[in-house]
């Protein structure tokens, strides 16, 4: 038995005693106070329920046999009224020790038993068990509180990251060419990131001399780093705005040295060129990028372009523009390798021949409808599993009936 002179460093247990015997309550109160408990007493079940409504106890010690509502009925009411998050250790005092009685009390929600006549050591052991359970409950409660706070912080961090990704994705979409069909140069595009944001970028920029700068870049990798790199390429090409073949070659060379000078493993393929809508004269550079298609007079053919290294591989790489002619009604079609590498459910890639077949199947449609039909075919091809790579496609067409002018 713990003596009353022992020092207790733990928080006292709050105990509610329920018994119709005044003398037993006095005795049990004295014994529990020597065990570092604060005690409140109730002479019947109704009084006990009222006290439990007003304050939280750690332990309830209740007699089985009481007038009116007995101990088992009281425990059943307590368990029904208390939420699962509110811990309460219930001990029952009884002179009945048969198995049926014990099982009935356990089913009602009793945690431990004190058998009469009461033994001091038995009481100490019961309170020690209750104290361990109460301490465990509060540790779990604190841990759950910390976990809930950490979860809330994680959700907030995720929300902020998601907001940043949404803003980045929206910025990339705003960089896409305007689909204004009133000018001499008609444009249509398909753009679908494999992830939330894309490492591809598409641009069509009108220049002061009447030319248009067009480009499609595909940065290695996915996610935020690739998106940032593709945004940089788009921004720099818009800033440099080359308007002659020589300026185009110089701009791509400068951009290549900038990317290579970053000393990272990132690189990009790029197809970039100039088109003068009133004359149809154009120049194109392919830096590690798939060659474009030209559709003219109902025929679709790949443009034979002298390939160059991707941007960021070698600082002294040379980028020579190839001249081409785009007559009224003809279309120039650029695409990323995510299009030709788009696999079906059997893992078979589309490849250039497959894309050419899609273009030929849609060539009779207006340019916007043609691109939509190709995009629909690509969506059906990769199915619900999603894309393995970003898909980008840009189609340009010189409007018919426009007078030709020399650039």
Cis peptide before 117 (omega within 30 of 0): yes
Is pLDDT of 377 > 60? yes
pLDDT for 381: 83
Q: In which band, very low, low, confident or very high, does the pLDDT at 5 lie, cut at 50, 70 and 90?
A: very low
Q: Which helix (H) or strand (E) holds 36?
A: none
Residues 372 and 256 in one domain: yes
If one counts the domains in the chain, the total is: 2
Indicate the pairing of strand 212-219 with strand 200-206.
antiparallel
What is the widest separation between alpha-carbon atoms in the chain? 116
- For residue 92, give Cα distances in angstroms to 42, 66, 181: 14, 12, 85
| Three-class secondary structure of residue 69 per DSSP | coil
If phi > 0 it is left, if psi is from -120 to 50 it is alpha, else beta; for residue 124 that is alpha
Cα(260)–Cα(398) distance, integer angstroms = 36
In which domain, by residue range, is 90 found? 13-144
Residues 184 and 112 in one domain: no
CATH number at residue 56: 3.40.50.2300
Residues 314 and 274 in one domain: yes
Residue-wise pLDDT for 183-208, tens only, equals 789 999 999 988 778 889 999 999 99
Residue ending a domain, choose from 121, 144, 167: 144
Residue-wise pLDDT for 101-155, tens only, equals 889 899 999 999 998 888 889 999 999 999 999 889 888 889 988 999 999 999 9
| Three-class secondary structure of residue 111 per DSSP | coil
| Three-class secondary structure of residue 302 per DSSP | strand
Residues 127 and 244 in one domain: no
CATH number at residue 207: 3.60.40.10
pLDDT for 166: 82
Residues 47 and 188 in one domain: no
Structure letter (DSSP) for residue 273? E
Residue-wise pLDDT for 305-336, tens only, equals 887 899 999 999 999 999 999 999 999 999 99
């Amino acid at each position: 038995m713990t003596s009353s002179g022992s020092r207790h460093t733990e928080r006292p247990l709050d105990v509610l005693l329920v018994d119709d015997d005044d003398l037993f309550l006095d005795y049990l109160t004295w014994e529990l106070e020597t065990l570092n408990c604060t005690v409140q007493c109730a002479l019947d079940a109704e009084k006990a329920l009222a006290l439990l409504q007003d304050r939280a106890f750690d332990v309830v010690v209740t007699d089985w046999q009481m007038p009116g509502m007995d101990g088992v009925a009281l425990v059943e009411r307590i368990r029904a009224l208390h939420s699962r998050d509110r811990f309460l250790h219930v001990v029952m005092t009884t002179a009945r020790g048969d198995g049926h009685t014990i099982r009935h009390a356990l089913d009602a929600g009793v945690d431990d038993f004190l058998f009469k006549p009461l033994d001091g050591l038995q009481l100490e052991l019961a309170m020690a068990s209750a104290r361990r359970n109460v301490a465990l409950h509060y540790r779990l409660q604190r841990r759950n509180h910390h976990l809930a706070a950490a979860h809330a912080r994680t959700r907030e961090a995720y929300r902020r990251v998601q907001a940043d990704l949404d803003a980045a994705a929206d910025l990339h979409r705003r960089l896409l060419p305007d689909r204004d069909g009133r000018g001499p140069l008609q444009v249509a595009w398909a753009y679908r990131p494999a992830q939330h944001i894309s490492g591809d970028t598409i641009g069509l920029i009108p220049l002061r001399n009447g030319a248009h700068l067009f480009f499609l870049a595909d940065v290695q990798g996915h996610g935020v780093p690739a998106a940032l790199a593709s945004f940089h390429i788009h921004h720099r090409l818009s800033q440099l705005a080359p308007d002659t073949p020589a300026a185009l070659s110089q701009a791509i060379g400068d951009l290549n040295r900038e990317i290579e000078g970053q000393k990272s493993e990132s690189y990009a393929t790029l197809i970039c060129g100039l088109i003068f809508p009133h004359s149809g004269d154009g120049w194109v550079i392919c830096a590690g990028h798939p060659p474009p298609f030209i559709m003219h007079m109902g025929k679709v053919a790949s443009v034979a372009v002298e390939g160059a290294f991707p941007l960021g591989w070698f600082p002294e790489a040379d980028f020579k523009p190839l001249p081409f002619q785009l007559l009224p009604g003809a279309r120039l079609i650029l695409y990323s390798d995510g299009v030709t590498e788009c696999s079906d459910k059997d893992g078979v890639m589309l490849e250039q021949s497959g894309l050419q077949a899609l273009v030929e199947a849609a060539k009779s449609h207006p340019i916007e409808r043609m691109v939509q039909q190709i995009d629909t075919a690509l969506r059906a091809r990769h199915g619900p599993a999603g894309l393995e790579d970003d898909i980008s496609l840009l189609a340009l067409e010189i409007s018919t009936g426009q007078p030709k002018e020399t650039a």
